Amino acid sequence: MGPDSAEVKRAEVRQMFASIVHRYDLLNRLLSFRRDVFWRRVAVTHGQIPPGGRALDLCAGTADVALEIVRQVSGVQVMAVDNCEPMLVRGLQKARKAGVADQIRFVAAPAELLPFPDDTFDGAFVAFGVRNIADQRRGLEEMARVLKPEGRAVILEFSTPSSPLCRSPYRFYAHRLLPWIGGLLSGNRAAYEYLPASVDGFASPEGLRILMEDAGLSGVSFVPLTFGIVTIHQGRNAGHRG
């Protein structure tokens, strides 16, 4: 993807999330039968952030991952980064309500150009974000760059169940029911058609492992959850820059 088409995609994605922010959390809970809460909780445990450490929540949206990190790790400081300000504003409201706004800083920036020095974070997380990044390679390279040596990158993303038994009902749900419910409640059906289409167009778990390693992460492994509807990848910054 060239720089111009990446900029066009970034603007389109930003606009799409701005248009559904008012229903984003509700639809996540509803459409996943609350499994999304569990998936984020498991993903955060994979980060193994030390108490008092520093974490990055990339493509943070309404900050569900950042809030989960604060719940799990005492004294942690989290940077929640997203390029859609309305999503971050909602996240800030949630952090204030939970009384943890002093532990989360909200930063409007593109994943492809993070405003942090090298070797800043003990762990970096992206939940349901990598698929949406216009320049995924660059976003993953940035994630690796800002990790401390031996820091962990954790990616939670949708995937397609490998068992044909699960795949057919899943596809029916994702392509037929989900856009209908999402459209009804958010007023933007296209956003909820984009979701399954973007999952179909995204790398397989093995493909994402290769993308992560090409971006400078090492020892990448992955584990499917809930019949492979989502997959958690993790890798380390081995300290070398490729």
Ligand X SMILES: C[S@@+](CC[C@H](N)C(=O)[O-])C[C@H]1O[C@@H](n2cnc3c(N)ncnc32)[C@H](O)[C@@H]1O
Residues near ligand X, by CB under 6 A: 10, 13-14, 17, 59-61, 64-65, 82-84, 87, 110-112, 127-129, 132-134
Q: How far is the CB of 216 from ligand X (least distance, A)?
A: 18
From the CB of residue 210, how many other CB atoms can be counted at a distance below 10 Å? 12
Tell me which residue has its CB nearest to ligand X. Answer: 61
From the CB of residue 200, how many other CB atoms can be counted at a distance below 10 Å? 12
Q: How far is the CB of 134 from ligand X (least distance, A)?
A: 5
Which CB atom, from 87 or from 208, has the smaller least distance to ligand X?
87
Q: How far is the CB of 142 from ligand X (least distance, A)?
A: 10
Which CB atom, from 158 or from 170, has the smaller least distance to ligand X?
158
Using CA atoms, how far apart are residues 42 and 27, in angstroms rounded to an integer? 20
Which CB atom, from 109 or from 238, has the smaller least distance to ligand X?
109
CB of 190 closer than 8 Å to CB of 119 = no
The sign of the CA dihedral 79, 37, 14, 23 is: negative
Which CB atom, from 189 or from 218, has the smaller least distance to ligand X?
189
Q: Is 220 helix (H, G, I), strand (E, B) or coil?
A: strand
